[in-house]
């Protein structure tokens, strides 16, 4: 970039960033809509939900890629086994997440999922050997305290006679397991993005998840009412549309700018949970949610600072003149 670029590119960059933020917020709203449809469909087997979410997500993605002229090459890959591995892990996370969603209040299910980016930091250190300094470890520790604040009222029921039969206890445990497995899936995606296009990753995942979810048929899929079927199909379309919007958001603005707006889902979850399902958010969920969100935003901010430091170091190392 030359020094004579003037104010116009700066203005364009500002517009691009604003567009990215708007797209991110809209994508979050669409994903909350997807979760709302799934919860409204009632007690449907998790594998069956995964199928509808994955299979019907393919259609808006295919339409989008066709309009962009990228469909012909979208499935082309030299790493099919990596995509399948990401699919297996992702399906596990998705199934557990949907199981939790059908058994927890919407705000609680959404907020517990915020443990995922915290666990990505932990797993990056354990499995990838990344150097994690005290700032991020501190943020992870504080964030996990927030997760404990949210889940403690449910998990303490395990000490009572009724605890083992409590569906919300199972929901909390499933949500936390989903966040952990989803963090592993994110590490696999990190590896894939080094060589694969976003469209390839998304289509391979949706296709793999659709096939894998069919393996759960013998474990008790159920007949759906027309309303349930409509809600689950709509959830799939929302999932595909949300993926497109989220990808577009990260194309228009830096990840460190866009990522914090993921946490608007907490506000939407509280509002939708109250007006649609009559869920009254507990003080523990609100307090814990604020703690987790603050920790997540700090980690994003810290990643941005480290990125800027690395950029300055590289520039300083370049030969001058």
201: exposed, middle or buried (Cβ count in 10 Å: 0-12, 13-18, 19+): buried
**Alpha carbon separation from 51 to 19, 213, 216, 280, 295 (Å, rounded):** 32, 5, 9, 30, 33
Lowest mean pLDDT among 8-12, 186-190, 211-215, 277-281: 8-12
The two structure tokens encoding residue 180: 């952990």
Task: Single out the residue of 191, 186, 229, 197 nearest to residue 75, CA to CA.
Answer: 197
The span from the CA of 78 to the CA of 194, in Å, is: 13
The residue assigned the tokens 């997540």 is: 296
pLDDT above 90 for 38: yes
pLDDT: which is higher, 87 or 321? 87
pLDDT: which is higher, 278 or 250? 278
**For position 3, what pLDDT does the model report?**
38
The span from the CA of 97 to the CA of 183, in Å, is: 13
Backbone angles phi, psi at 320, to 5 degrees: -85, 155
**For position 319, what pLDDT does the model report?**
53
Q: Are 232 and 38 in contact (CB under 8 A)?
A: yes
DSSP-assigned states of every residue in 281-299: PPHHHHHHHHHHHHHHHHH
Q: What tens digit of pLDDT does each residue of 114-134 get?
A: 888 888 888 888 887 877 788
Q: Are 109 and 282 in contact (CB under 8 A)?
A: no
DSSP-assigned states of every residue in 48-99: HHHHHHHHTTHHHHHHHHHHHT-HHHHT--S-HHHHHHHHHHHHHHHHHHHH
pLDDT band at 7 (very low <50, low <70, confident <90, very high): very low
Mean pLDDT within 139-158:
79
**For position 157, what pLDDT does the model report?**
55
The two structure tokens encoding residue 54: 């994955």
Mean pLDDT within 7-15:
45
For 5, the 3-state DSSP assignment is helix
Q: Are 122 and 281 in contact (CB under 8 A)?
A: no
pLDDT band at 51 (very low <50, low <70, confident <90, very high): very high
Percent helix / strand / coil, the chain, rounded to 5: 85, 0, 15
pLDDT: which is higher, 289 or 37? 37
Q: What tens digit of pLDDT does each residue of 69-109 get?
A: 888 888 889 899 999 999 999 999 999 999 999 988 898 88
**Alpha carbon separation from 217 to 4, 50, 220, 221 (Å, rounded):** 63, 11, 6, 6
The span from the CA of 233 to the CA of 49, in Å, is: 9
Q: What is the pTM of this model?
A: 0.82
pLDDT band at 158 (very low <50, low <70, confident <90, very high): low
pLDDT band at 321 (very low <50, low <70, confident <90, very high): very low
**For position 316, what pLDDT does the model report?**
57
Q: Are 15 and 252 in contact (CB under 8 A)?
A: no
Q: Are 28 and 264 in contact (CB under 8 A)?
A: yes
**For position 86, what pLDDT does the model report?**
93
Task: Single out the residue of 316, 305, 315, 319 nearest to residue 1, CA to CA.
Answer: 315
């Amino acid at each position: 970039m030359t020094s004579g670029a003037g104010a116009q590119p700066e203005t364009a960059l500002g517009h691009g960033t604003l567009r990215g933020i708007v797209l991110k917020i809209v994508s979050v709203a669409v994903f909350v809509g997807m979760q709302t449809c799934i919860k409204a469909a009632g007690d449907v087997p998790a594998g069956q939900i995964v199928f509808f979410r994955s299979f019907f997500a393919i259609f808006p993605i295919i339409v989008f890629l066709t309009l962009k002229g990228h469909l012909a090459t979208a499935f082309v890959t030299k790493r099919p086994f990596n995509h399948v591995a990401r699919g297996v892990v992702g399906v596990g996370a998705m199934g557990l997440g949907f199981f939790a969603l059908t058994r927890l209040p919407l705000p609680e299910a959404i907020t517990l999922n915020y443990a995922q980016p915290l666990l990505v930091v932990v797993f990056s250190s354990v499995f990838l050997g990344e150097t994690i300094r005290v700032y991020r470890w501190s943020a992870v520790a504080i964030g996990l305290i927030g997760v404990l604040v949210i889940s403690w009222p449910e998990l303490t029921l395990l000490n009572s006679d009724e605890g083992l039969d409590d569906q919300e206890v199972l929901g909390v445990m499933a949500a936390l397991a989903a966040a952990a497995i989803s963090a592993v899936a994110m590490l696999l995606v990190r590896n894939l993005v080094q060589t694969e296009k976003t469209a390839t990753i998304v289509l391979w995942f949706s296709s793999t998840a659709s096939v894998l979810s069919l393996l759960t048929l013998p474990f008790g899929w159920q007949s759906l009412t027309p309303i349930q079927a409509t809600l689950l199909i709509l959830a799939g379309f929302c999932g595909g549309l949300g993926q497109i919007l989220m990808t577009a958001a990260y194309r228009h603005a830096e990840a460190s700018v866009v990522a914090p707006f993921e946490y608007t889902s907490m506000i939407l979850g509280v509002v939708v949970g109250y007006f649609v399902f009559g869920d009254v958010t507990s003080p523990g969920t609100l307090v814990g949610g604020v703690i987790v969100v603050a920790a997540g935003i700090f980690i994003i901010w810290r990643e941005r600072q480290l990125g800027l430091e690395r950029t300055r170091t590289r520039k300083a190392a370049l030969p001058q003149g």
